[in-house]
Structure formats: C-alpha cells, structure tokens
Amino acid sequence: MAAWSSSPSLRHLLLLRPRVPLSPTCLAGSFSRRHIHSHSRRRLFSSASSSTLTHGDEASTHADADGVVDVNPPRGTRDFPPEDMRLRTWLFDQFREVSRLMAFEEVDFPVLESEALFIRKAGEEITQQLYNFEDKGGRRVVLRPEITPSLARLIIKQGKSVSLPLKWFTIGQCWRYERMTRGRRREHYQWNMDIFGVPKVRAEAELLQAIVLLFQRLGITSSDVGIRVSSRKVLQAVLNMYSIPEHLFTEVCVIVDKLGKLTRDEIEKELMSTGLSSEAVQGIIEVLSLKSLSKLEEVLGSGVEAVADLKKLFSFAEQYGYADWICFDASVVRGLAYYTGIVFEAFDREGKLRAICGGGRYDRLLSTFGSEDIPACGFGFGDAVIVELLKEKGLLPDMSRQIDDIVFPLDEELEGPASSIAFSLRKKGRAVDLVEDKRLKWVFKHAERINASRLMLVGNSEWERGTVRVKILSTREEFEVKAGDLE
C-alpha cells in the first residue's frame, strides 16, 4: 500500500511485461487510506472444512492448518469497496469515452482462456508467469495475462463475416502468477485498443491519438508525459547488417527489452548466449542507444523500412497536432514476442513511474495460431500507473457519493406514504435513499455524508394536508409540497 513511490523493490516489476506492466500498486486503495488498517491479517473461523486447504508453502495466507480463514481477497487481488469502485468506474468511463470518440467498438472475452493461446517460446516474462491451472476435465486453462491473443482468436473465429478494417476496444482484468512480495499485485485491469486490417502506420497514428486524447481529457499535458516510439524493424535491420539468422529475432527482442532493468553487462551476456558475435552485440547496443531519427537514418540508411515507417509516423503526429507528445527512442522494443513493427510506450517525464501504457504492431500473430495473417496493431493501458500519476499531479476528481433525495418518515405510521413517494420519485429518475428508524440528527448527518440534494420529511401534520416538507440541503430552504407535485 505504500507503493505509490517508486521504491527500488518495485523496480523488479519491470521484469514483468505484458503490453503494460502488471501493477504492483492498485487503483483500489489509491486514495482510501481508511482501508489500510483492514489489510492487516484478520482471520476468522470458517464453517468450511480445512482438510483440503493446507497444501504448499504459501497456503497459510488463505487457510491455516487449524481451519481459520482470511477475510482478505486472494493474495495479490483487490476488493473494490464503493469509494474505490467510483474511481474505477470514472477511469473506465474515460477509456470508453475516448474509444467512442475514436469510433472503436467494445468487445469482451472470457477471463479464463485455454493455456495454449499463451504458450510462446521467446522467454517473455508474461508467459513465464501464467496464472494457470488444470481444470476438472484435465484441460490446461489460464487466467489470461493479456488480451491480444483472445482478440486474435475471435477474429479467426469470425472469419469472413468480419469487415476490415476493424477497430475494437476492451477493458478487462489480466492476471499473472508469481511469488508475492509486499505491495505486488497479481491482477490488474487493462484497456486495449486494436486495429485489424490497416497495414499502414496510419493505424499506429490513430492509436497514439487515442492515448493523447485520453491524457488531455484527464488534464495531463505533454510536459507531464511523453510517448517513446521505435520500431522492431530497427533491430531487424541491425540483425540483417550482421547476417544474424531470422529465428533469433524474437529472442533478441525479449532480451534487449530488459535494457535499463538489467545492467549492460548482463544484457551483453544474455545476447552472447544466443550465439551472437560480440561485434553484433555491440552493434545492437549502439543502435538501441540512438534517440534521433536522423542519426538512425545515418546508421541504417534511408532506404530501410524502419526509417520510412518512423518518419511517416512522426509526420502524422505533426498533422494530427500531437508531435510534442512523442519522441524517437531506439531502446523501446517492448517485451512481447509478437510485435513486428512500430512499438511505443508512454512514460512520465519525471521518470518516477513505470510505463503508463504500451503497444505496437503485430502483423504476424494470426499465423502463429494457424490462420492467415491480418496486419494489426494495438496497445494495453493499465489501471494502476495512470492513477498514481493522476494522484501525483493532483488530478484525481472528487469521488464523493451523490444522491438526489432522502425520504424520511417522521413516524412509523407514515412508512406507507414514504414508500409511495420514494417509488414515484424513482420512476421520475431521482436517486432516492429511503431512511427509517433513525433520529433526525442522524438523517441530517447522513444527508451531508452522501451529498443529498434534498430531504423529504414525511410528517403527520403535513401528511394530513397531503403534503411533505422539502428541504434543499445546499441553501437550507424549506417548503411544503403536495405529494403529487413532487418531482
């Protein structure tokens, strides 16, 4: 819970890289300090048998040998009490609104997927930390670590009925399994936007526009945040220069993605272990340190696709008007095996946080599932780092509860009129809290706590006249209104 600062231990997290690093911190708890105390281990006796609950070294977290059960959610997962849920809903609404503006359609997939969708051999952390199981039918299943493979699966399934280009977004929970240390999480929510059927970098330009649009709506500026852009084709060109065989490409990408997390020595060692010459290793590392597109052009030559793609993308950024948000950085390769072209990630310019979001082009994912390829690109945007950033910048909105009316019968006999008043106001679209069996003092405090606009007091003398007393809570105005005239 103290994870909002970038403590060194959290840096380990960078080793996990779905499109967006799974988050050690969380949306829940980001501003609700009152729950922190309750995270202490409260255990209660359960009616459940404990006989099956005591395997393994970590099992004690959830069930002690004596049958005591934890009231916390499973390790590394979150509950969303109302105040945290309001924040999550607000953030998801922002994701949805930007997706709507960009004319993307929402889709969804099961959080439980077949393990086969996620098994890749490139040594990505994401596939090494699968939250996988064997189900009762002997199937290998997994709580998905990322959403893109499900997307690809659905597109293959829909086949010819799909009209291209296709622009889809989804907001879903992703999971990883690793040994827990304090403050690290095993799940996060991720907003994904993907475009299928557009081979040109226009698609990447649209994705970047969406990300910038989101930042702008949240009040974040280009002096807070930047987006680093490169292309896998840069690395491909370097490998070609040294005549390095094609099959090493993905593995090299996954290794160089660790630049900045591992030391240079460690990276070199890993690269050497794939069989590269030390000349090639040096060449790779030098090119990846480039931060200027014209330098890259000097090194690779202007005829190279990597350079042409990047130049085109930066020209788009000018035309859209978000060039101040993006910069070329050859060291960006992203940790997923399937990227083939442009890759990008958003970062806070103060350098305190992990990547805010990341994505790229993956033109050959479908063929790894045995289907015909469709050019595609997309990004994943997690729910954790963005909230940290908003908090740091003081940009989190007011998340207090809001109710229209409280209806309160002053006498138990008046529960009937109170019921019909509540029902009729609700039918008219008012959010009505019907309160009973409390003192008036409590009701006023409650009204303040939930930001009620009006208080409707149903009292005997008024009701005899067919009226209720209405109090506007902001102005303290009070007047009598006929029950039938309430709205």
Does 176 sit near its own copies (CB under 8 A)? no
Which range in 68-76, 268-276, 454-462, 468-476 contacts its own copies by CB under 8 A?
Answer: 68-76
Site for its own copies in 8-47 (CB under 8 A): 34-35, 38, 42, 44-47
* Binding flags for its own copies, 222-261, as an x/- string (CB under 8 A): ----------------------------------------
**Binding positions for its own copies, 425-484, rule CB under 8 A:** 426-427, 429-434, 436-437, 449-450
Give the helix/strand (H/E) hosting 478: strand 478-482
What pairs with residue 175 in β-bridges?
187
340 is in an annotated binding site: no
> Taking CB under 8 A as the rule, does residue 417 contact its own copies?
yes
Q: Determine, following the binding rule CB under 8 A, whether residue 114 of this chain makes contact with its own copies.
A: yes
Q: Which of 59, 65, 272, 472 binds its own copies (CB under 8 A)?
A: 59
Nearer to its own copies, 38 or 263 (CB): 38
- Token digits for 86? 């309001």
Establish whether 176 is an annotated binding residue. yes
Helix ranges (H only) for 301-453 are 305-320, 365-368, 385-392, 415-427, 440-449
Residues 119-148 binding its own copies (CB under 8 A) are 119-121, 131-141, 143
CA 442/CA 420 separation, integer angstroms: 23
Q: Does 81 bind its own copies (CB under 8 A)?
A: yes
How would you label 349-367 residue by residue, b for 16+ Cβ within 10 Å and e otherwise? eeeebbbbbbbbbbbebbe
Does 153 participate in binding its own copies (rule CB under 8 A)? yes
148 annotated to bind ligand: yes
- Sheet containing 432-434: order of strands: 432-434, 403-409, 452-458, 467-472, 478-482
Q: Please state the closest distance from residue 128 (CB atom) to its own copies, in A.
A: 12
Which residue's CB is nearer to its own copies, number 298 or number 423? 423
Written as one letter, the residue type at 110 is: P
- Pick the binder of its own copies from 2, 8, 52, 265 (CB under 8 A): 52
Nearer of residues 6 and 23 to its own copies, judged by Cβ: 23
78 contributes a contact to its own copies by CB under 8 A: yes
Q: Under rule CB under 8 A, which residues in 353-372 are in contact with its own copies?
A: 368-371
Nearest to 332 by CA among 421, 448, 204, 418: 204
Does residue 377 touch its own copies according to CB under 8 A?
no
Distances (CA, A) of 485 to 414, 421, 480: 18, 10, 10
User: How many chain residues interact with its own copies (CB under 8 A)?
Assistant: 125
Binders of its own copies among residues 257 to 316 (CB under 8 A) are 315-316
Pairing of strands 403-409, 131-134: unpaired
Q: Of 43 and 391, which CB lies nearer to its own copies in the complex structure?
A: 43
- Exactly one of 159, 303, 351, 394 binds its own copies (CB under 8 A); that residue is 159
Q: Does 120 belong to an annotated binding site?
A: no
Cβ–Cβ contacts within 10 Å for residue 191, how many? 27
Instruction: Please report, as residue ranges, which positions from 196 to 215 form the binding site for its own copies (by CB under 8 A).
Output: 200, 202, 205-206, 209, 213
146 is in an annotated binding site: yes
- The structure tokens 């993006």 sit at 326
* 133 vs 242, beta carbon nearer its own copies: 133
Q: Is 300 helix (H, G, I), strand (E, B) or coil?
A: helix
Question: Could you tell me the two tokens for 247?
Answer: 């099959």
Helices 232-241 and 278-288: crossing angle in degrees, nearest 10, is: 150
HSE toward the beta carbon, residue 176, CA cutoff 13 A: 26
Q: Rounded to whole angstroms, how far apart are CA atoms 274 and 265?
A: 15
For residue 322, which phi and psi values (nearest 5 degrees)?
A: -125, 25
User: Any contact of residue 109 with its own copies (CB under 8 A)?
Assistant: yes
Q: Does position 329 bind its own copies by CB under 8 A? A: no
Q: How many residues make up the chain in this entry?
A: 487
Which tokens is 173 given? Answer: 């929970």
How many Å apart are CA 145 and CA 147, to the nearest integer?
Answer: 7
Cβ proximity to its own copies: between 196 and 287 the closer is 196
Which range, of 12-20, 173-181, 244-252, 266-274, touches its own copies by CB under 8 A?
173-181
The annotation places the binding site for L-histidine at 146-148, 176, 190, 194, 334, 338-339
The annotation places the binding site at 146-148, 176, 190, 194, 334, 338-339
